[in-house]
Amino acid sequence: MAIAERDESGEGQRRERRALPAALAPAGRATAASFVQDELRRAILAMELTPRTPLIEKDLTARFGISRTPVREALIRLKEEGLVEIFPQSGTFVARIPAGAIPEAVFIRQALEGAAVELAAQRATEADIARLDATIARSRDAHQAGNQEGFHLADEAFHETIAGIAGFPGVWRIAHAAKSQIDRCRRMTLPVPGRMESVIGEHLVILDAMRRRDGKAAEAAMRRHLGMLLPELATMQAQNPDYFV
């Protein structure tokens, strides 16, 4: 089932969005609601469902083969996450990206992951460095294959691995929870020519500092890497004004 949205520019073009993956609905209302929530969140963060896309309960119940109650519960939970907007008289839509929240989310990531990589640089073993090398190799392979989803997952693995090396995996869980709106912006930048190569290069700089056990250089490189999104934010807003609020 493709979800389509009419272009509001007046040209009447329709933009098709990839359907959510088919799956059997789990038993139990709570489990079913969590399942739908997870699937919709993944599609929203991947920008498969872009801001202002309508989310029609009847279509979702047919897609997932469940009743409206768990679908409604999933949509309410996504609203609490800031990923869905519900208008009683108009319907339910994928939420627009709150541009004002992006700098704070970047700040949180820089603070947490900057501290983590500084510590990881002191604690990393040769095996740890090899694991990080492997995630960068996965990024290269995904880039060469034009696989944006694979690239994103390899990027996440790089950051998660660093938190684990530091000895504080919870740092990544907190940073991950804070970055949902960042993820939507990042997905918009990945198709830009040269962007994936830049990310790989930034990761290599971080890894080189860790290899030299230079914690301060690793922290500075991580902060620069995570802050690269901010200068691009105004351009993204100008190019996609309907996506932001």
Q: Quote the mean pLDDT of the chain.
A: 89
Other C-beta atoms closer than 10 Å to the C-beta of 244 total: 18
Mean pLDDT of 173-186: 94
**Nearest in space to 138 (alpha carbons), one of 160, 125, 155, 163:** 155
What are the chain's domains?
Answer: 3-94 (1.10.10.10), 99-243 (1.20.120.530)
Using one digit for the tens of pLDDT, what is the confidence trace for 148-174?
Answer: 999 999 999 999 999 999 999 999 999
> What pLDDT, on the 0 to 100 scale, is given for residue 28?
56
In the structure encoding, which two tokens stand for residue 136, read together?
């960068």
Residue 221 is given by DSSP the state H
More confident residue, 26 or 73: 73
Q: Which residues sit opposite 14 in a β-bridge?
A: 6
- Tokens 């991950």 locate to 176
More confident residue, 193 or 6: 193
Lowest-confidence range among 25-34, 40-49, 124-133, 182-191?
Answer: 25-34
Residue 6 is given by DSSP the state E
CA distance 176 to 199: 18
Using one digit for the tens of pLDDT, what is the confidence trace for 79-117?
Answer: 999 999 999 889 999 999 999 999 999 999 999 999 999
